[in-house]
Structure 1
């Protein structure tokens, strides 16, 4: 029965590959074209401001910045045509991790205190994250406005969000794409951050992956100069994220990645977004329990992943894996109870039950 369940589950994902992925790839091409145009603007961004000869680093933030792609479209995790496209704007000197001491604030977010460098700071010598974001947003908008044309794109609108410039793209094919353009400070060594899980506590495969990233000088985790809510020292707080680490790790472990895809697909059919379930939560739980999942068949791994989410919600939250006491999911207890009941119902399904649910609820089927 397990083999039959996995064959049915594999067929469900194959339908996504046939009917959804080609459209996502076409949108992906348009987003890449936009990213290339933006990168070109970064190289000449000193002409954005008057008096270029008088520029100081604080007023020329993007010239050496690089762009990286994130979101479900680049992780092989898309299950609908409307999927996530993120463009990460990774800053260069002086906004690099070796110039900072990384500190955990009482809010559980992070502060970056200058050790060296001459970037934006407050009176106590901490990075002024709010001012950095404000200036980055202004420069990014100026770059967007300077782009005259992009292959495959007819129109680009934008607005400022909490942690990103939200782009709304209309393609030549009259499809609509949402992209988050998010400034980041990259950290390229694991042990730099306080309250970080010990490298040796991670699953062995993930340890190896982190070491490869360190050897290559690639970003391992990132800080965004923006946090939700209201906090003391709000102006200096940054949020940590592990999106690029999880992206590359799951792309290189396709069996576990497909378990995440199947949870996302069933979640779409069951409308679990109303409970607050997001793609990154599924990924985080999958990475946390990778050692358990990696030996299972697709269907058994899917059920195990659901069970891990259900179990973690016993405390009405989901804690992060990489940072001590990091709550990545918070909802009212009654909403969590509803969500756990929905997960328990799905845990009782066979793959055939899941197929019927998808055929009823999703036009793809």
Structure 2
């Protein structure tokens, strides 16, 4: 086999030359829409959203294909800010948000002060859709659809180009300690603890609470269920750890080439969480060696037939059926036997 590091540099160079510029051009189109949308929703006099935060692969330097979705997290303003809530763990493993007792007024909650996040989401989705419909640009066909946690905007240009944007309303928290059952900082890799401290010192968002959860109808009090996500924390971490970012990018590229998302419900955060969890070890490795290490750790997760969230204690992020887990492990084993030239040849 040729020098793997040399081939890896060729792979990353090809991504940087052929994919990254197109993603950046699409990001500029996304920004143009976002500004028009922001002005439209501010006219609704809703008091929210407070801030737009860019998350996801396009903003983490992890894009491996031109058709990359853009995730815009919309953080809510007062009174829907994390400092006004006490998160509590629900038997489902998700969370509920209870208004703190000192607040003079409470909104969209039950008699005990627990927020009905589903009601809040529907109200927000209505405002978001109305604001999208107010954006009219010649030469653009703008479509929107309500998803589980986001309103998806698809823009088709007269040139034939298309972009997709997910607008995700959330409640922002700025302290790790505010949420129960998160992995204690002492159990996190040292490099990650430093990033959390930096975000906290700057008053930056550390986690975003969703306004619904997957399969919520299966659980009691489903309208109250929420769950934290850590997109900005991962973005901050990966943007500062270039080698780890490239390891994850290789895993994403392999998953894209082999269609793992469709076949095995692979999501990029699987690789990101593994990289975060093992970052102290991975930082000692080269990119190809680190890529293989992430695949080996992924195989260990699939062997258990589920992958843990990692940041949240005893939270399953995804479960595989036994036969699908066996098939996925066979795919991972094949990937581990390949050298990087196999990836390069399919680009």
Give yes or no for TM over 0.5.
yes
Are 1:312 and 1:318, in contact at CA under 8 Å, matched by a contact in 2?
Answer: yes
Q: Does 1:216 align with 2:205?
A: no
What is the CA deviation profile of residues 151-174 of structure 1, one whole-angstrom value per residue up to 9, with x for unaligned ones? xx6121101111111111113532
Identify the residue that residue 12 of structure 1 maps to in structure 2.
Answer: 11
Which of 64, 74, 84 is 2:69 aligned to? 84
Alignment of 1:1-365 (within 5 A): 4-46=3-45, 60-62=46-48, 65-115=50-100, 116=103, 117-149=105-137, 154-229=140-215, 230=217, 231-273=219-261, 274-356=263-345, 358=346, 365=347
2-structure distance, mates of 1:142, 1:265? 37
2-structure distance, mates of 1:280, 1:35? 25
- The alignment partner of 1:8 has SS state of helix
2-structure distance, mates of 1:61, 1:322? 31
Aligned-pair CA distance for 1:264: 0.8
- The alignment partner of 2:183 has SS state of coil
Aligned-pair CA distance for 1:353: 3.4
Q: Which runs of 4+ in 1 moved over 4 A?
A: none
Are 1:61 and 1:136, in contact at CA under 8 Å, matched by a contact in 2?
Answer: no
Are 2:172 and 2:205, in contact at CA under 8 Å, matched by a contact in 1?
Answer: yes
2-structure distance, mates of 1:7, 1:90? 42
Where in structure 2 are there 5+ consecutive unaligned residues? Answer: none
Are 2:41 and 2:127, in contact at CA under 8 Å, matched by a contact in 1?
Answer: no
Give the alignment's TM-score, normalised by structure 1: 0.90
What is the CA deviation profile of residues 93-116 of structure 1, one whole-angstrom value per residue up to 9, with x for unaligned ones? 100111111101001111000112
- The alignment partner of 2:182 has SS state of coil
Are 2:76 and 2:170, in contact at CA under 8 Å, matched by a contact in 1?
Answer: yes
What is the CA deviation profile of residues 213-240 of structure 1, one whole-angstrom value per residue up to 9, with x for unaligned ones? 0011111011011111121100111122
Are 1:97 and 1:186, in contact at CA under 8 Å, matched by a contact in 2?
Answer: yes
What is the CA deviation profile of residues 15-70 of structure 1, one whole-angstrom value per residue up to 9, with x for unaligned ones? 11111111111110011111112222233222xxxxxxxxxxxxx242x5211111
Give the alignment's TM-score, normalised by structure 2: 0.95
What is the CA deviation profile of residues 161-219 of structure 1, one whole-angstrom value per residue up to 9, with x for unaligned ones? 11111111113532111111110001101111110111121111111100110011111
2-structure distance, mates of 1:221, 1:276? 24
Give the number of aligned pairs: 341
Are 1:42 and 1:65, in contact at CA under 8 Å, matched by a contact in 2?
Answer: no
- The alignment partner of 2:208 has SS state of strand
Identify the residue that residue 53 of structure 1 maps to in structure 2.
Answer: none
Where in structure 1 are there 5+ consecutive unaligned residues? Answer: 47-59, 359-364
- The alignment partner of 2:3 has SS state of helix
2-structure distance, mates of 1:174, 1:321? 41
